[in-house]
Amino acid sequence: MTEGPIVILTGAGISAESGLGTFRDADGLWTKYRLEDVATPEGYAKDPALVLDFYNARRENCVGASPNAAHSALARLERARGDVLLVTQNIDDLHERAGCTDVVHMHGEIMAALCARCGNRRPWEGRMCLTDVCPECGMDGRNRPDVVWFGEMPYHLDRIYSAVTNCGLFVAIGTSGSVYPAAGFVSEAAAAGAETLEINLEPSETASRFDRQIYGPATETVPAWVDQLVGG
């Protein structure tokens, strides 16, 4: 058993085998859309309908996808140990649907809406459109997915930094290490004395900062790693 709490950071790679596209792989979403157009406050101000359509498609894909063996293994790990914090950059809800009960969504959630006028947040299913009326302020035209865009502040950073700098083991799974501040967590954890492990399909941009690396598809590597920690 690893000594001390475990912090796990997941990225798009853990959901890739559930059929949800990653962003930066060769056939990733950024080869089909311009990041500036669909994932920035400026893009939403310029063409909100395009942005809502982009996320309507992401939501539809998410609803149609199922958690895979890697999501299930992390839920098993959470049940077996009381000291695991799961932080995800993913906006999908596959960790929750696999049975994880405490998931920190630092980049928000596709199954939630945010009123860009008054800040009201609420669960959201189905398509989002500009005529949706906010139940809090009564205004339309400002509904958006509750996701963190480039240039916006990620959620829950105080809780995450506190956990990252007080853990015994920091593990990054299926993330390219190209989006900060998440890409910097490994250095923060290591500086505070934690062991660090990267689990990814291939070496990420920050691979050399980790003490150990395991490479291969998440549906194989993650269950095998969890078996090692808590038994099969």
Positions marked active-site: 107
Structure tokens at 202: 């291939």
> Pattern of binders to ligand NAD over 146-185, x per CB under 6 A?
----------------------------xxx-xx------
The residue among 24 and 81 lying less far from ligand NAD, judged by its C-beta, is 24
Integer CA distances (angstroms), 191 to 57, 180, 186, 196, 212, in order: 40, 17, 9, 10, 16
* 71 contacts 220 by C-beta, under 8 angstroms: no
* CA–CA separation, 100 and 75 (whole Å): 5
Q: For helices 218-230 and 69-80, what crossing angle results, to 10°?
A: 20
The distance from CA 148 to its chain's CA centroid, rounded to whole angstroms, is: 11
- Stated as kind and residue range, the H or E segment containing 187 is helix 185-191
6, 8, 12, 51: which one binds ligand NAD (CB under 6 A): 12
59, 107, 144, 209: which one binds ligand NAD (CB under 6 A): 107
Positive or negative torsion for Cα 176, 10, 7, 124 = positive
The residue among 23 and 161 lying less far from ligand NAD, judged by its C-beta, is 23
Question: Per rule CB under 6 A, is residue 36 in the interface with ligand NAD?
Answer: no
Question: Per rule CB under 6 A, is residue 90 in the interface with ligand NAD?
Answer: yes
Question: Per rule CB under 6 A, is residue 16 in the interface with ligand NAD?
Answer: yes
Could you tell me the smallest distance in angstroms from the CB atom of residue 136 to ligand NAD? 26
Question: Per rule CB under 6 A, is residue 73 in the interface with ligand NAD?
Answer: no
Interacting residue ranges for ligand NAD, rule: CB under 6 A: 11-13, 15-17, 20, 22-25, 28-29, 89-92, 107, 174-176, 178-179, 200-202, 204, 217-218
